[in-house]
Amino acid sequence: MALGLFGCTQKTNNNAVAVETLYHGCQLCHSKQELQRGPVLDGQNGKYLTRQLQKFKNGQRGKVAAHRSEALMGTATDVLADKDIKRISRYIAAQPPKPYQPSVKGDAVKGEATYTTTCMSCHGKHAEGSWLFRTGSLAIFEDWYLLAQLRHYKHGRRGAHPDDAEGQLMIARVADMDDKAFIDVVSYIASAFASLTNAPPGHASVQD
């Protein structure tokens, strides 16, 4: 129902739609109010958002039937006009990141070793991402979402499209990792770099 409404608004008023209104539609599925949803996007790198939205739009993501959450997002981009992709990405990138309550509990010490040796080169010292390597910030997206994505790459539900070279890099990277290693590395990323709601004093719980 909600999705139908969303599509309708965009199709009829596309030229007139303010970016705030567009984003309001995204938040049907990208805010903490929803149970079955995508990640909170606020503060994510704008170029990375654009790139991912284009992947949904051109069918590199969102077309694997077994991956229901991606398929849901695929339907959302069906109604997003090409010309709106950049402006909504810019708008989202300018929003302050939302602190979250971590839910993935692993061995962050082991995770740190993995992160430093096998992830940092492409994802950055503070998990901030690097456009040179086409990565976004891992500190912005919630821990449960990062874990889900690692599992999706591992099981070929994300990144397997023949034209998705970046996704294939991640598939290759996680091929020799097991679920325990995913949980550990995500615990480390969340505890070291994310803005957390239960952060101890002194931790950067609010970013600019």
Between 147 and 201, CB nearer to ligand HEC: 147
Return the number of other C-beta atoms located less than 10 Å from residue 186's C-beta. Answer: 29
CB of 130: closest distance to ligand HEC in angstroms? 9
Under 8 Å between Cβ of 129 and 123: yes
Q: Which stretch binds ligand HEC (CB under 6 A): 12-20, 93-101, 117-125, 195-203?
A: 117-125
Of 56, 180, 62, give the one whose Cα is nearest residue 111.
180
**Cβ nearer to ligand HEC, comparing 122 with 204:** 122
Place of tokens 């849901």: 72
- 128 interacts with ligand HEC by CB under 6 A: no
- Establish if 50 lies at the interface with ligand HEC (CB under 6 A): no
Q: Does 53 bind ligand HEC (CB under 6 A)?
A: yes
Sequence-ordered list of residues with C-beta below 8 angstroms from that of 89, at least 6 positions apart, any chain:
46, 47, 49, 50, 53
Choices 11-19, 27-35, 93-101, 196-204 (CB under 6 A): range interacting with ligand HEC: 27-35
- Return residues touching ligand HEC (CB under 6 A): 3, 6, 22, 25-26, 28-30, 37-39, 41, 49, 52-53, 69-70, 72-73, 76, 80, 88, 114, 118-119, 121-123, 133-136, 138, 141, 146, 148-150, 158-159, 166-167, 169-170, 173, 185
